[in-house]
Structure 1
Amino acid sequence: MKIAFVGKGGSGKTTLSSLFIRHLAARGVPVTAVDADINQHLGVALGLEEDEAAALPPLGGRLPLIKDYLRGDNPRILSADTMIKTTPPGAGSRLLRLGEDNPVFDACARTVPLDAGEAGDAGQIRLLVTGPFTEDDLGVSCYHSKTGAVELFLNHLVDGREEYVVVDMTAGSDSFASGLFTRFDMTFLVAEPTRKGVSVYRQYREYARDFGVALRVVGNKVQGPDDVAFLREQVGDDLLVTMGHSDWVRALERGTERPFDSIEEPGRRALAALHEAADASYEGRDWRRYTEQMVHFHLKNAVSWGNERAGADLAAQVDPDFVLGEPQQQQLQATA
């Protein structure tokens, strides 16, 4: 399952992403976490030291390797250099599975152990990061060139219900620069109970309406009934849960790691509600629609800028008979 956390800067989406990841891992659910925010904080929120997080290998810096591997022997893709962030898979492409070893995970993924406290070992998660926007990027590239690696990863991923990819997205509505916002079974939008706090929700709701994007709001930094009433008035039934003050979260933000099993009961209930909503969203998974949306945004990006950059007609990369999904997963398992 693919889950995104979005929201305006400062809303607390990285903190809530890390809490949800810890919640899943504590229940034995396999989790791959992806930090796709321009401000790379997810690793630290998951317990890494600053220097450890800074040393993580960036997906954005491994694009040639990623493209070359995913291309496989797909005859429609003339070279890895002609692949762009929206290039869809086809016959001959290499697909990714979360439980496997492959060159992409070997080069970019790192294992992060999590502490459950007295309840026992909370297991571990796999962490991928896009990498920060550096001085070398200024005036040369935009951050979409880095999140493009995440989009390629998701476009080639065959995942199942009992495994999770949780992506901490870049703040605001930047994911609408491509089809990245359509790659998720559930999008949790973190909103503070203020007018600015719900502004990103309105953008997401309008953009996502025509693409069947499942969107639920998590009210954060809620201090009382008036805040809940404001959020309910602004977002209606899209409001799923609210989170108030937490000494556990405050300690985490100060750099004090506490056992996850000591988080307050309201937080536990809220995270359980997120888990239930995410799990239920898988019932709506439509692999054909997922593939069609992938192709739609690829053709749109090809005309807009991709053909000129690649020096080729990238519409030719589309395999009209290919549908990403369970048949490919079963074939991969049979040949593993």
Structure 2
Amino acid sequence: MKIAFVGKGGSGKTTLSSLFIRHLAADGTPVVAMDADINQHLGAALGLTEAQAAALPAMGANLPLIKEYLRGSNPRIPSADTMIKTTPPGAGSRLLRVTEDNPVYDACARPVALDGGGVRLLVTGPFTEADLGVACYHSKVGAVELCLNHLVDGREEFVVVDMTAGSDSFASGLFTRFDMTFLVAEPTRKGVAVYRQYREYAQDFGVPLKVVGNKVQGPDDLAFLRNEVGDDLLVTVGHSEWVRAMEKGRPRPFAELEDANRRALRTLRETADAAYGRRDWERYTRQMVHFHLRNAESWGNARTGADLAAQVDPGFVLDERLPASAAQPA
């Protein structure tokens, strides 16, 4: 399943996503973790040192390799140079699996050992000096979107993405790539403002959205969130001495996480599991094509010098039952 953690900057979405990743790993669940935020903190939240986090390879820097691998033998894509972030797979495209080994993971993913098991971690990469003044962060996140467009996953496999802050993901179709989106909100006016904006955009595309209240300190905070987000409020998380120790570089065994917070993580897992039963691969593929055509007309055709609408394979539907190595031509 594909899970996104979103919210305003400073809401705690990286902390919550890292705790959820640890919870899954402790159960032995296969996990691919992706840091798609401009502020790259997921590695540190998973216990990496600053040096280890800084040494993670950037997906954005490996975009040519990613495109060439995913293109495979798709006859509708004669050159990787014509692929953009929204390019959908078709017959002949290579697909990604959570547990497989492939050149994309070899180049971009690094193993992170956690209590009970390990995960694969990929990062978009931070802004570099060369990007300043000439690039927007959506060019970095495009590598994540392209990979998600070509990734098939099952019930007992998770892809957890720590998203860019606020509503930046609406600059493309990235927000539709998930089985469940957890929006982390503080009990403040600013905290729920992002929720309202996200809900407004997401509801038109049937994006499942639940709110995780963070930094909730008492009944008044809880009542505020319930009044502001209603039934979308799934669970709340309060102060954590375990998290504070981790942030100070004094990690404790994950089993020592507070009982209330462990219950909250189990609720997130149960909610994600329930979302799998509502998965609709045809709608997922249709939305992928929709945003690809919009991006092609808006800027893609002019930038690549190609008619990117021709990349769409009208008979192709992404599905976890497709061959593991590639979506072979008929």
2:143 matches 1:156:
no
Stretch deviating more after TM superposition (92-101 or 217-226): 92-101
Counterpart Cα distance in 1 of 2:277 and 2:202: 19
Q: Is residue 4 of structure 1 aligned with residue 8 of structure 2?
A: no
User: Is 1:191 paired with 2:185?
Assistant: yes
Give the Cα–Cα distance (whole angstroms) in 2 for the partners of residues 241 and 189 of structure 1: 11
Aligned match for 1:138, one of 132, 135, 147: 132
* Structure 2 CA distance for aligned equivalents of residues 189 and 314 of structure 1: 33
Alpha-carbon distance in structure 2 between the residues aligned to 1:9 and 1:297: 26
Q: C-alpha separation between the residues in 1 aligned to 2:327 and 2:77?
A: 25
Is 1:214 matched with 2:208? yes
| Residue equivalent to 1:235 | 229
SS at match of 2:152: coil
Query: Cα–Cα, structure 1 residues 327 and 113, in superposed 2: closer, same or farther, change >3 Å?
Result: closer
Q: Deviations over 1:3-49 (max 9, x none)?
A: 00000000000000000000000011111100000000000100000
Q: Structure 2: 5+ residue runs without aligned partners?
A: none
Query: What is the deviation of 1:332?
Result: 5.8
Alpha-carbon contact 2:32-2:121 (below 8 Å) kept: yes
Instruction: Determine if the alignment matches structure 1 residue 284 to structure 2 residue 286.
Output: no
- Please name the residue that 2:316 is paired with: 322
- Once the two structures are TM-superposed, the CA of residue 329 in structure 1 deviates from its matched residue by 4.1
Distance 1:7 1:200 in 2: 6
* 2:249 aligned to which of 251, 255, 258: 255
Q: TM-score, normalised by structure 2?
A: 0.97
Structure 1 counterpart of 2:84: 84
> In structure 1, the residue corresponding to 2:309 is in which secondary structure?
helix
C-alpha distance in 1 between matches for 2:277 and 2:57: 34
Instruction: Note the 1:99-110 alignment, pairs <5 A.
Output: 99-110=99-110
Whole-angstrom distance in 2 between the partners of 1:330 and 1:26: 26
Choose 252-261 or 239-248, whichever is displaced more. Answer: 252-261
Alpha-carbon deviation of 1:109? 0.6
Consecutive aligned runs of 4 or more in structure 1 exceeding 3 Å deviation: 329-334
CA contact (8 A) 1:9 1:172 kept: yes
1:245-298 C-alpha deviation (Å, 9 max, x unpaired): 111111112221111000111001100000100111011110000000000000
Equivalent residue letter for 2:61:
G
Q: Determine if contact 1:158/1:329 at 8 Å carries over to the other structure.
A: no
Structure having the higher helix fraction is 1
Distance 2:59 2:279 in 1: 26
Cα offset, 1:327, TM superposition: 3.4
Q: For 2:142 and 2:324, how far apart are their aligned partners in 1?
A: 27
Offset at residue 78 of structure 1 (A): 2.1
**How many percent identity over aligned positions?**
79
**C-alpha deviation, 1:330, in angstroms:** 6.6
Aligned-residue offset at 1:319 = 0.5
Query: Normalization by structure 1: what TM-score?
Result: 0.96
